[in-house]
Amino acid sequence: MDRHTFIYNFKNFPFTTGRKKTYLCYEVQLMNDNFRNPQNWIKGFLYNQRNSHVSLNIFAARIYDCLEGYEEGLRSLYDAGAYIAIMTCREFEYCWRAFVDNQLLPFKPWYRLNEYSEFTSEQLQRILQQRVSYFPPVP
């Protein structure tokens, strides 16, 4: 992706408007005798089951909260074994180097990147730890 697309869509400001697309930067690695092998493609598909040969690690720049049920969706991924975390400067820099047509320019963290990452990480942890109670409290 181009630099401007990355910066506009990956900046982790807690309150953003006008973002109508989600960009996913991903790599696939298959576990083979305790070695990770990058794959350019995978035949077949994955479905909702635990699989010791496949793991899902999600690093998000922000949490979109505009759709109802997003919290339960995050909890479902987490409960199914996905590792979910908020991107830090390290992950932003990695995406910049691996997926952005950066014209060999270095990644320049934006103002308050670390503060916004911490804020959003705390928000994610509250969501993942929150459980809905279907029973009224006992008096």
Token digits of residue 76: 């479902």
Strands 28-32 and 83-86: unpaired
Where does the pLDDT of residue 66 fall: very low under 50, low under 70, confident under 90, or very high at 90 and above?
confident
CB atoms within 10 A of CB 74: 19
Q: Domain 3-129 is classified in which CATH homologous superfamily?
A: Cytidine Deaminase, domain 2 (3.40.140.10)
pLDDT tens digits, 73-90 = 899 888 888 889 999 999
What confidence score (pLDDT) does residue 97 get?
A: 94
pLDDT tens digits, 96-129 = 999 999 999 999 999 999 999 999 999 999 999 9
**pTM greater than the 0.85 cutoff:** no
Enumerate residues 6+ apart whose C-beta is below 8 A from 131. 75
Domain ranges of the chain: 3-129
pLDDT tens digits, 15-61 = 767 676 777 787 766 666 555 554 444 434 444 455 566 677 889 99
Could you tell me how far CA 58 lies from the centroid of its own chain? Answer: 4
Query: In one letter, which amino acid is 9?
Result: N
